[in-house]
Amino acid sequence: MKINATIFILFVIITLLHGNTIYAQASSNTQNIQKASKKIKEGFRKKEDKIAAEGFYDLGEEYYIKGDFKKSEEYYNKAKELYVNEKNDDGVSKSS
Protein backbone atom coordinates (compact mmCIF):
# COMPACT_ATOMS: atom_id res chain seq x y z
CA MET A 1 0.00 0.00 0.00
CA LYS A 2 2.85 2.37 0.80
CA ILE A 3 4.34 1.85 -2.68
CA ASN A 4 1.03 2.78 -4.35
CA ALA A 5 0.85 6.01 -2.35
CA THR A 6 4.43 6.88 -3.29
CA ILE A 7 3.77 6.19 -6.96
CA PHE A 8 0.61 8.29 -6.83
CA ILE A 9 2.45 11.22 -5.24
CA LEU A 10 5.22 11.01 -7.85
CA PHE A 11 2.58 10.91 -10.59
CA VAL A 12 0.91 14.05 -9.24
CA ILE A 13 4.23 15.91 -8.94
CA ILE A 14 5.29 14.97 -12.47
CA THR A 15 1.89 15.96 -13.85
CA LEU A 16 2.04 19.34 -12.13
CA LEU A 17 5.56 20.03 -13.35
CA HIS A 18 4.74 18.98 -16.89
CA GLY A 19 1.53 21.06 -16.87
CA ASN A 20 3.51 24.21 -16.07
CA THR A 21 5.87 23.51 -18.96
CA ILE A 22 2.98 23.17 -21.38
CA TYR A 23 1.41 26.40 -20.10
CA ALA A 24 4.73 28.26 -20.45
CA GLN A 25 5.14 27.06 -24.03
CA ALA A 26 1.58 28.04 -24.94
CA SER A 27 2.03 31.45 -23.34
CA SER A 28 5.29 32.05 -25.19
CA ASN A 29 3.72 30.96 -28.47
CA THR A 30 0.80 33.35 -27.98
CA GLN A 31 3.17 36.23 -27.26
CA ASN A 32 5.22 35.45 -30.36
CA ILE A 33 2.07 35.35 -32.51
CA GLN A 34 1.05 38.75 -31.16
CA LYS A 35 4.52 40.17 -31.91
CA ALA A 36 4.43 38.80 -35.45
CA SER A 37 0.97 40.26 -36.02
CA LYS A 38 2.17 43.66 -34.87
CA LYS A 39 5.13 43.38 -37.23
CA ILE A 40 2.77 42.72 -40.14
CA LYS A 41 0.60 45.71 -39.27
CA GLU A 42 3.69 47.90 -38.93
CA GLY A 43 5.00 46.73 -42.30
CA PHE A 44 1.76 47.56 -44.08
CA ARG A 45 1.39 50.86 -42.23
CA LYS A 46 4.91 51.91 -43.24
CA LYS A 47 4.51 50.35 -46.69
CA GLU A 48 7.55 48.17 -45.96
CA ASP A 49 6.97 44.77 -47.51
CA LYS A 50 10.12 43.37 -45.92
CA ILE A 51 8.81 44.02 -42.39
CA ALA A 52 5.41 42.52 -43.22
CA ALA A 53 7.10 39.52 -44.82
CA GLU A 54 9.15 38.96 -41.67
CA GLY A 55 5.93 39.02 -39.65
CA PHE A 56 4.27 36.48 -41.92
CA TYR A 57 7.38 34.30 -41.76
CA ASP A 58 7.37 34.52 -37.95
CA LEU A 59 3.71 33.49 -37.89
CA GLY A 60 4.57 30.55 -40.12
CA GLU A 61 7.25 29.50 -37.66
CA GLU A 62 4.92 29.74 -34.66
CA TYR A 63 2.16 27.72 -36.31
CA TYR A 64 4.72 25.15 -37.43
CA ILE A 65 5.85 24.78 -33.80
CA LYS A 66 2.20 24.36 -32.76
CA GLY A 67 1.82 21.61 -35.36
CA ASP A 68 -0.68 23.51 -37.51
CA PHE A 69 1.14 22.84 -40.76
CA LYS A 70 -1.64 24.05 -43.06
CA LYS A 71 -1.77 27.47 -41.41
CA SER A 72 2.03 27.55 -41.25
CA GLU A 73 2.28 26.97 -44.98
CA GLU A 74 -0.25 29.75 -45.67
CA TYR A 75 1.87 32.25 -43.73
CA TYR A 76 5.11 31.06 -45.33
CA ASN A 77 3.51 31.57 -48.76
CA LYS A 78 2.40 35.10 -47.86
CA ALA A 79 5.93 35.86 -46.70
CA LYS A 80 7.38 34.39 -49.88
CA GLU A 81 5.09 36.51 -52.06
CA LEU A 82 6.26 39.70 -50.33
CA TYR A 83 9.90 38.60 -50.46
CA VAL A 84 9.55 37.99 -54.20
CA ASN A 85 8.15 41.53 -54.62
CA GLU A 86 11.14 42.85 -52.69
CA LYS A 87 13.56 40.73 -54.75
CA ASN A 88 14.86 39.33 -51.46
CA ASP A 89 16.38 35.98 -52.45
CA ASP A 90 17.29 35.03 -48.86
CA GLY A 91 13.71 35.65 -47.75
CA VAL A 92 12.35 33.63 -50.68
CA SER A 93 14.68 30.76 -49.81
CA LYS A 94 13.79 30.58 -46.14
CA SER A 95 10.05 30.83 -46.76
CA SER A 96 9.97 28.17 -49.48
Interval 30-51: pLDDT, tens? 899 999 999 999 999 999 999 9
Q: What is the pLDDT of residues 10-23, one digit of tens each?
A: 666 666 665 555 55
7-12-14 Cα angle (round to 5): 90
Higher pLDDT, 26 or 59: 59
79-82-83 Cα angle (round to 5): 85
Q: What is the pTM of this model?
A: 0.73
Give the Å distances, CA to CA, from 52 to 16, 27, 36, 84.
39, 23, 9, 13
Instruction: Return mean pLDDT, the chain.
Output: 84
Mean pLDDT along residues 71-86: 95
Spatial contact of 34 and 75, defined as CB atoms under 8 Å apart: no
Q: Mutual orientation of helices 49-66 and 2-45 as an angle, nearest 10°?
A: 160
Spatial contact of 79 and 95, defined as CB atoms under 8 Å apart: yes
pLDDT value of position 28? 80
Question: Distance between CA atoms of 50 and 95, rounded to whole angstroms?
Answer: 13
